[in-house]
Chains A and B, each alone.
Chain A
Amino acid sequence: MKPRYDVIVVGAGPAGSVAARRAAEAGLETLLIEKRQEIGAPVRCAEAIGAELAGQFIAADPRWIDARIRYFAIHSAHGEAVKLPPAEPTLVVNRKVFDVELAHLAAHAGAEVLTRTMAVGVMKAGDQVCGVRIRQMGVETEVAARLVVAADGAESQVARWAGLKTASPLADYYIGIEYYLDGVAGRIDPEGCEYHLDSSLAPGGYLWAFPKGEGRANVGLVISADRARDVRAIELLRRFVSCRYPDAGVLATIAGGIPVTGGLNQTVMGGLVVVGDAAHQADPLTAGGICLGMVGADLAMQVAIEAVKAGDVSAGRLAEVDRLWQQRFGRMHAALYKIRKMITCWEQAKIDELVATAASLPLEQMSLGKVMLSLFRKHPGLLLEARTLIATGLIMK
């Protein structure tokens, strides 16, 4: 570790590794630090990603592809299911390998990568962030940087130390818990992702079962934090798994929190950009955030690298990062956020009816617009609720 870098990236998840790689590729002296002793472990994710978006950052590799998905099945509480083809080719990845590969690409581009090295504070000169206090093997050091990238996940502290407000309101925060199960062959389709919209299984959220190949599966749930007071997420999952997969072995238990605000309004300040889950860049409906975090890091670094090179990392210059994000995802995320809010208000009976109606449609021959029209015809009240979404033009295309 040197006393000074152009860029210090805190957190070696997908967003951090992409940010570090972009900086190093641009010829900037870059440090990527990870507090855990092993990158990618423990995994904290349901591990499904869009192949095309991911392909912009990493070449497909069978070492980290556990399953290729042909359809999503959305289940009601009664067990009825709507099968939908994915909008883009979808993969279930092995995050342990995937994350290490991304960090490897950063290192290969010239970034210095250190594990078991954690940020314990930020250095500031006036309003400007100018470095990170780093602790490694019990020794604390101040390391200067022209730009700090906070990619330290949902529990981000770097941004908070710097003065940004990143704590999520409970209504916009998912609590996730999952089991990595073994011995589920025959009980899960190796090419289909299951989602269960059942408020008794996952209040304010959903339960998923994703195949991982070789008779294994990633089965978990997210619940809305504002409905979590009287339930224990792990109990809900244990109940479902013991009922549905009674013989399965639990190879890993994984948990975490995910902000689903759709994105922080402000992700930059002088000398600092925030990316990935730390910037609430996960999908505000599904909470999927691997690809969005990588895209967010990429967008941020397009601006930040030029800013560092020009010697101007002021908040004003970096504000372009927020503009780019809004331009690309603002409208879509606002709509997805509204859809989640709408669904979480629904009674379970309504969800079940909608799934039943959709399940009766010949979906393979229908456009999304036609599907929506059929649903509206059968459930006119839905039209009223969805009017703001229709106004944005997002769901009638």
Chain B
Amino acid sequence: MVLCSLGYGTLTPIFSRDENSMNAPTLPKAVVIVDDELCLRCGACVGVCPSNGMFLLDTRLTIEVTICRGCAVCVGVCPVGALTLIQPGGESV
């Protein structure tokens, strides 16, 4: 699990598929995850996120799991299909 302090001063866990960090069955809610191998770091998703839960850094996109409401607006917007909605049971949509 990656730790990132990008949010509001607190350390917040970020899910990222490439590091095999998903522990899907224990997810408390639906969240979106990013496939780092596909992501172009373009930020198209960030501009439509209604919860302001995505952050684009120079080298990676992060989705703050405490903020993401799993609305998946970003999933349809991604030009390369790098985003996936994961349901609490761990099922991808």
Interface residues of A (CB under 8 A from B): 35-37, 42, 44, 116, 118, 120-121, 140, 153-157, 160-161, 167-168, 170, 173, 175-177, 225, 228-229, 232-234, 253-257, 259
**For A154, what are the chain B residues with a Cβ–Cβ distance below 8 Å?**
43-44, 46-47
Q: Does B58 contact A (CB under 8 A)?
A: yes
Check if B45 sits within 8 Å of A160, measured CB to CB.
Answer: no
Main secondary structure of the interface of A (DSSP, over half): mixed
Known: A157-B55, A160-B52, A177-B79. A257 touches B5 (CB 8 A): no
Q: Mark B48-92, 1 if CB is under 8 A from A, else 0.
A: 111010111110000000000000010011011100000000000
Among the listed A42, A157, A225, A228, which residue makes an inter-chain contact with B46, where contact means beta carbons less than 8 Å apart?
A: A157
Check if B48 sits within 8 Å of A225, measured CB to CB.
Answer: yes
Known: A36-B58, A153-B43, A256-B43. A167 touches B79 (CB 8 A): no
A118 to B56 Cα, complex, angstroms: 10
Known: A228-B76, A255-B80. A167 touches B49 (CB 8 A): yes
Q: Mark B1-26, 1 if CB is under 8 A from A, else 0.
A: 00001101100000000000000000
27 A-B Cβ contacts within 8 A? A35-B57, A42-B41, A44-B42, A120-B6, A153-B43, A154-B43, A157-B46, A157-B52, A161-B52, A167-B47, A167-B48, A167-B49, A170-B48, A170-B73, A170-B77, A177-B42, A177-B80, A232-B79, A232-B80, A234-B80, A234-B81, A254-B42, A255-B40, A255-B80, A257-B44, A257-B46, A257-B48
A234 to B42 Cα, complex, angstroms: 12
Check if A256 sits within 8 Å of B50, measured CB to CB.
Answer: no
Interface residues of B (CB under 8 A from A): 5-6, 8-9, 40-50, 52, 54-58, 73, 76-77, 79-81
Closest-by-CB residue of B relative to A154 is B47
Identify the interface centre among B43, B52, B73: most chain A CB within 10 Å of its CB: B43
A37 to B5 Cα, complex, angstroms: 20
CB distance from A353 to the nearest CB of B (A): 30
Check if B77 sits within 8 Å of A253, measured CB to CB.
Answer: no
A228 to B74 Cα, complex, angstroms: 11
Closest-by-CB residue of B relative to A227 is B76
